[in-house]
Amino acid sequence: MEYSGKKEIGKIILVVVAHPDDEVLGCGASIAKWTASGSIVHVLIMAEGATSRSQVRDRRVKSKELLLLGKSAHSAGSILGVASVKLLDFPDNRMDSLDRLDVIKAIEIEIERIKPHTVVTHHCGDVNIDHRIIHEAVIAACRPQPGHSVRLLLAFEVASSTEWQPAGSSVAFQPNWFENVAETFDCKIKALEFYKSEMREWPHPRSLENIENLARYRGSSIGCEFSESFMLLRKIQ
């Protein structure tokens, strides 16, 4: 079991997520902790996050919603103290229709640009198809070739996706890296206020009540009030 500190987490961090709000749901309080401790955090959001709610992908129909999601992502990033938020335009919940190499290369471009020590992304067993594809693309983009900047890979859980995968259907999320976020959990809640359109009422797992319950449960696992948990995928020392 790992308890991270500034030295372990790295000076430059890239958080790669499928949709606007995943970065906050998955590790918003940890991002706030890392930036407060001096790390530089960049967020890369791969898919646009709205058009899957229509039968046919038409960005024009969802233009206002997409604009709002973009503004929400930047506002949430400001609350968390991130250095940049970059939104790409891959199709929402349709990333299995794409050539995987196109997704990998988009991540590689960002890694080459900022040269992160740490990359944080989705768990491979999430029920959401975009989450799984982003995970696989991140692993490919972070191949430990000579001279590659990435030394630490972490995967987070996302309420309403990670726990919805039935037992035996995929790899279970078994956290072994915990961030004590007692001092920054309020930043996560403030950031989620910009994603009201994505939140749901209790007892939905993507409700504010459950987000707090999950953080308290993970915190109780390590003897603190609030925690966000991760799976350590690779650590090169």
CATH for 6: 3.40.50.10320
Distance of CA 130 to the CA centre of its chain: 12
* pLDDT at residue 60 in the model: 61
How many angstroms separate the CA atoms of 237 and 214, rounded?
Answer: 31
Beta strands in 104-181 (DSSP E): 118-122, 152-156, 177-180
Q: Check if the beta carbon of residue 140 is closer than 8 Å to that of residue 104.
A: yes
* pLDDT at residue 161 in the model: 97
* pLDDT at residue 62 in the model: 67
* pLDDT at residue 58 in the model: 56
Q: What is the pTM of this model?
A: 0.93
The tokens for 181 are 């976020």
Q: Which domain holds residue 96?
A: 2-235
pLDDT in tens, the chain (237 residues): 554 554 588 899 999 999 999 999 999 999 999 999 999 999 999 998 655 555 554 566 567 888 889 999 999 999 999 999 999 999 988 899 899 999 999 999 999 999 999 999 999 999 999 999 999 999 999 999 999 999 999 999 999 999 999 988 999 999 999 999 999 999 999 999 999 999 999 999 999 999 999 999 999 999 999 999 999 999 999
How many angstroms separate the CA atoms of 111 and 115, rounded?
Answer: 5
First to last CA, the chain: 17
- Other Cβ atoms within 10 Å of 184 Cβ, number: 23
**DSSP element (H, E) containing 87:** strand 84-90
* pLDDT at residue 48 in the model: 81
How many angstroms separate the CA atoms of 164 and 131, rounded?
Answer: 13
Q: How many domains does the chain have?
A: 1
* pLDDT at residue 7 in the model: 55
Residue 146's contacts (CB-CB under 8 Å, 6 or more residues apart) are none
